[in-house]
Amino acid sequence: KQEVTQIPAALSVPEGENLVLNCSFTDSAIYNLQWFRQDPGKGLTSLLLIQSSQREQTSGRLNASLDKSSGRSTLYIAASQPGDSATYLCAVEDNNAGNMLTFGGGTRLMVKP
């Protein structure tokens, strides 16, 4: 059974810092990995999707990498802003799990002005 772990569980940084969020998964037989953002009491907003054949994806100040063989992904946020404060979730879609997503526990990010 796929297990997804995110480290750290919580992170507080001053504005302007570059930061890295980590995601690891136990079964490398995945279709893709997706990073989401969730604001309190809201749904999920997709940030980046990395296919299993890709190494990284970029969108603005966000860069996500994928090392499928080692079961790891990182989300890099450049020049963090208070508006980046949210919970970040990674999820993998398994080849063998009926296209369902398995989520990590999330990283709660607070960017202080």
Partner 1 sequence: GAVVSQHPSWVICKSGTSVKIECRSLDFQATTMFWYRQFPKQSLMLMATSNEGSKATYEQGVEKDKFLINHASLTLSTLTVTSAHPEDSSFYICSARDRGYFYGYTFGSGTRLTVV
Tell me which residues touch partner 1 (CB under 8 A): 31-32, 34, 36, 41-46, 49, 51, 89, 91, 93, 98-101, 103-106, 108
Task: Please report how close the Cβ of residue 98 comes to partner 1 at its closest, in angstroms.
Answer: 7
Please say which residue, 2 or 80, places its beta carbon nearer to partner 1.
Answer: 2
Task: Please report how close the Cβ of residue 100 comes to partner 1 at its closest, in angstroms.
Answer: 6
Please say which residue, 24 or 51, places its beta carbon nearer to partner 1.
Answer: 51
Please say which residue, 72 or 108, places its beta carbon nearer to partner 1.
Answer: 108
Task: Please report how close the Cβ of residue 109 comes to partner 1 at its closest, in angstroms.
Answer: 14
Instruction: Please write down the HEC assignment for all residues of the chain.
Output: CCCEEEECCEEEEECCCCEEEEEEECCCCEEEEEEEEECCCCCEEEEEEEECCCCEEEECCEEEEEECCCCEEEEEECCCCHHHCEEEEEEEEECCCCCCEEECCCEEEEEEC
